[in-house]
Amino acid sequence: MVIPNIDELLANAHPVGLPMRTRFRGIDLRETVLLQGPLGWAEFGPFAEYQDDESALWLAAAIEAGWQGFPTALRNSIPVNATMPAVPADQVPEILAAFGEVPAVKIKVAEVGQSLQDDIDRVAAVRQAAPEAVLRIDANAGWQLQTALEALRRLADFGLEYAEQPVPGIEGLASLRAALLAEQIPIRIAADESVRKESDPLAVARAAAADLIVVKVAPLGGVRRALEIVREAGLPAVVSSALDTSVGIRAGLALAAALPELPFACGLGTVALFEQDVCAPALLPRAGEIELSETVPDPELLQKYRLPEDRVRWWEARLRRVHAQLSQRVM
């Protein structure tokens, strides 16, 4: 990978903050940086808790998008799911409405401060509001083994397609999957956090820890690296977002479009969680799918949602540090 110099990146950087419709992943404002490269727009938005070494993969993904371009697409339209934050059950219909008709809904569970009954009520409300949709849950490794087993016993009646990272670690996933098989509970296990490190995918497969993997372009270092990880793991893949703007969603669509097989709807409809996107029109699902198209931010929206100057300086300093980290890796 040829890395553009830091001055070029900073000269074409647009730090923005987008308000969320509802609190998601603990944030109300999604801060990120949009970069304009010679081959298109790119996004660099590692969450605040990510250290510089881990954030270097996010920058590699952005450079691929803006300076290298994406691999050949095998399909022009990607089926997507809706994403339901860990909200009270009575808020479910309003949030689902923003996604339109979708074939599947991913429901956040195991939120800190909430109970298993809260999760069950939320899943039940989604089932009532979307009776034809396939349901999945995502615990973000928030349960321990026995809690996860009890939760999945109780949620099995909803016909879940899979449970995403219900417990931490590969060993935990393997133990839970074995327990589900022993009890004949028909819920697949999807690994997400456990495939973030480059060495993990093969370990997930060898340990029989998951039935499928969830891959995100930015944390894995780009579309090409994510394709390699899927190939190495030898498991079906779902492409998901890292709470991206339409610019980052375009990279996720490029990955989904380049996968040899795409057996599941992807988690790329998350622009619906923002009050406003930076692109007009935004990459939102229509009839449960998103068409591949190029994304160009609206200059007025870039200005409207530009971060205050102290946050701009924070992101510029972060970009400098992460650029130095990435440059050392590829020397």
- Say which residues have a Cβ less than 8 Å from residue 129's Cβ, sequence separation at least 6: 92, 93, 96
Q: What is the DSSP letter of 61?
A: H
In a domain, 1, yes or no: no
**134, 106 in Cβ contact below 8 A?**
no
Confidence check: pLDDT of 329 > 90: no
Alpha carbon 106 to its chain centroid, in Å, reads: 11
Same domain, 64 and 168: no
Q: Same domain for 173 and 279?
A: yes
Q: What is the pLDDT of residue 200?
A: 67
Percent of the chain with pLDDT over 90: 92
Instruction: Check if the beta carbon of residue 135 is closer than 8 Å to that of residue 161.
Output: yes
pLDDT value at position 195? 84
List Cβ neighbours of 71 (8 Å cut-off, separation of 6 or more): 223, 224, 227, 254, 258
Q: Are residues 141 and 269 in the same domain?
A: yes
Residues of the binding site for Mg(2+): 138, 164, 192
**Residue 158: per-residue pLDDT:** 96
Whether 112 is in a domain gets the answer yes
Condensed to tens digits (0 to 9), the pLDDT of residues 237-256 reads 999 999 999 999 999 999 99
Q: State how far the alpha carbon of 74 is from the alpha carbons of 4, 253, 256, 292, in Å.
A: 29, 11, 9, 11
- Residue numbers in the known binding site are 138, 164, 192
Looking at every residue in the chain, the average pLDDT score rounds to 95
Q: What is the pLDDT of residue 199?
A: 63
User: In the predicted model, is pLDDT for residue 69 greater than 70?
Assistant: yes
How does residue 331 score in pLDDT terms, banded at 50, 70 and 90? low
CA distance 91 to 24: 14
Query: How many independent structural domains does the chain possess?
Result: 2
Its domain, for residue 308, covers 6-68+299-330
Catalytic residues: 108, 216
Q: Report residue 223's pLDDT band, with 50, 70 and 90 as the boundaries.
A: very high
Q: How many CB atoms lie within 10 A of CB 280?
A: 12
- With a CB cutoff of 8 Å and minimum separation 6, the contacts of 165 are 138, 139, 140, 141, 173, 190, 191, 192, 193, 194, 214
For residue 186, being part of any structural domain is answered with yes
Two tokens at 143?
């349960």
Predicted confidence at residue 122, as pLDDT, reads: 98
Measured between alpha carbons, how far is 203 from 80 in angstroms, rounded to an integer?
Answer: 28
Residues 84 and 228 grouped into a single domain: yes
Q: Is residue 223 part of a domain?
A: yes
**Same structural domain for residues 270 and 170?**
yes
Residue 84 belongs to a domain: yes
Does residue 237 lie within any of the structural domains?
yes
Q: Is the pLDDT of residue 197 over 90?
A: no
**56 & 83 share domain:** no
User: Exposed, middle or buried: residue 294 (CB in 10 Å: 0-12, 13-18, 19+)?
Assistant: exposed
Q: CATH number for the domain including 163?
A: 3.20.20.120
Residues 92 and 207 in one domain: yes
Task: Assess whether 26 and 130 both reside in one domain.
Answer: no
163, β-bridge pairs:
137, 189
CA–CA dist 41, 38 (Å, integer) = 8
Residue in the structure block whose two tokens are 């050392």:
328
CATH number for the domain that contains residue 305 = 3.30.390.10
Which structure tokens are listed for 292?
């591949």
Q: What pLDDT does residue 130 have?
A: 96
**Interval 153-188: pLDDT, tens:** 999 999 999 999 999 999 999 999 999 999 999 999
Peptide bond into 281 cis (omega under 30): yes
Q: What is the pLDDT of residues 14-58, one digit of tens each?
A: 999 999 998 888 899 999 999 999 999 999 999 999 999 999 999
Cα–Cα distance for residue pair 164/195, rounded to 1 Å: 12
Together in a domain, 248 and 110: yes
Least confident range from 199-203, 302-306, 322-326: namely 199-203
Please indicate, yes or no, if residue 235 is contained in any of the structural domains.
yes
Q: Are 138 and 164 in contact (CB under 8 A)?
A: yes
Instruction: Give, in order, the Cα–Cα distances in Å from 122 to each of 42, 86, 97.
Output: 35, 8, 15
Instruction: Give the pLDDT confidence of 264-289 residue by residue, as tens digits.
Output: 999 999 999 999 999 999 999 999 99
Question: Is 280 within a domain?
Answer: yes
Q: How far apart are CA 304 and CA 291, in angstroms?
A: 27
Predicted pLDDT at 194: 84
Q: Mark whether 203 and 269 lie in a shared domain.
A: yes
Q: Is the pLDDT of residue 1 over 90?
A: no
Residue 186 and residue 249 in one domain: yes
Residues 130 and 229 in one domain: yes
